[in-house]
Homo-oligomer: A and B are copies of this chain.
Amino acid sequence: MAGGVPRGGIDLGGTKIQTAIVDPGGEVLGEARHPTPTSGGPADVAQAMEDALREAASSAGVKPEDLEGVGVGSPGDVDGKTGVVSAARNLPDWEGSFPLGETLAKALGVEVRLGNDVQVATEAEFHLGAGRPFSSLIGVFWGTGVGGGIVLDGKPWLGRGAAGEIGHMVVKRGGAKCPCGRRGCMEAYAGRAAMEAEARRQHEEGTKTDLFKLMEKHGKDRLTSGIWDRAIQHGDELAGRLIDRAIEALGTGVASAVNLLDPEAVIVGGGLGVRFGERYMEPLTEEMDKHLFVNERPPAIRVASLGDLGGAIGASLLFAK
C-alpha cells in the first residue's frame, strides 16, 4: 500500500452502481459494477451499493473497514452533512428521504461521505482527468439527463447547494417539453431520455427507424448510448437527426454558460458524452461558436478522460479534503 490508505467510491446511477477502490494518488486498485435495483426501495439500493463496494474491495485485496472512508456520488437532493438523500426520482420508491450515509456506514463499518453525483465527477476530472490543466471549468455530463458541475479558481462552486443545473438552462423559450416538466431546457433536446421519448413519438407517427428493433435485438429496455451508436453507424436517419438536434442544443446551452462564466475549459462527460464527444467535437464546437460572445477565444473543450469510473473516483475524493 505504497500510495497510502485507499478510499472507496460509489457512483449511484439510475442504471448502474459503479464502485472503485482508489489510492490517494488517484490509482484505481479495484472496481465493480452492479445494476441498480429497479424495484424495492432505498434500503434495497443501499444493499446493492454495499455488495458492489465489497466486491471492489475484495478485488483490491482490502477490507471495507480498513478504507480511509467511502464516498458516494448520489442523485437527488443530497445533504452532505446528515447523509440523507431525498427525491432521487430515478431510483425506486425514493421520492422521500432516506439516511443513506448512516445505513452504508453501519453496513460497511467505515465513515461514509455523500456528494452530488455530477459535482464529484466534475471534481474527479478537475483533479485527475481531462480538467487537470485548467483552474476553472464547467463539467457537462451528457447522459440520461444533462447534468453540470462547476469549478472556479480551483474550487467547486455549489451555490446554495443546487448550482450546475446546466441541463435546465433554456435554449428555446416555448420549445420542447423536458422530462423536468418545463419547456425548452437543453435536456429536452439533448438528454437520452428525452431523445428516446422523441424517437418513440416520431416512430409511432410513422417515421422509419431501426432504433427500437436494435434495442430489442440487444435485449435492452431503453435506447442506451450503444444503441444510438449502432443506429447511427447503420445510417439510421431518425437517430442521426436526433443526435444532431442534441448537439445543437448542447452547443447553444454550453455557449450560454460560457458567456456567463468565461471558464478556461468545458469537460464533456456522461454516457453519451464519452461515446460521442470526440466524434461530434467539430459540430459541437461549431454550434457553440454561433453563440459565443467572445468567440475569438473559446474555452478548451475536452472529453472526460476518466470514463465510466469518473463518478466513483470523484466520490472517493470526498476523503481528499
List chain A positions with a Cβ less than 8 A from chain B. 136, 148, 150, 152, 157-166, 168-175, 180, 182-185, 248-249, 252-253, 255-257, 259-264, 290-291, 293-294, 297
Contacts and interface: CB of A to CB of B under 8 A. Distances in A.
Contacts of A159: 136, 261-263
A148 B257 CA distance: 13
Contacts of A166: 259-260
B248 A173 contact: yes
Contact of A173 (B162, B172, B260): B172
A188 to B, nearest CB: 11
Oligomer copy total: 2
B248 A293 contact: no
Contacts of A180: 293
B170 A171 contact: yes
B168 A291 contact: yes
Contacts of A249: 173
27 contacts: A136-B159, A136-B160, A150-B260, A150-B261, A152-B152, A157-B261, A159-B262, A160-B263, A161-B262, A162-B262, A162-B294, A163-B262, A165-B259, A165-B260, A165-B262, A165-B293, A165-B294, A168-B291, A170-B252, A170-B253, A170-B255, A170-B256, A172-B172, A172-B173, A180-B293, A182-B293, A184-B291
A253 B248 CA distance: 18
Contacts of A182: 290-291, 293
A165 B292 CA distance: 10
A252 B173 CA distance: 7
Contacts of A148: 260
A189 to B, nearest CB: 9
Contacts of A252: 170, 173, 184
A180 B291 CA distance: 10
A259 to B, nearest CB: 4
A276 to B, nearest CB: 20
Given A170-B171, A172-B174, 6 more contacts: A158-B262, A162-B297, A163-B260, A165-B262, A183-B290, A260-B261
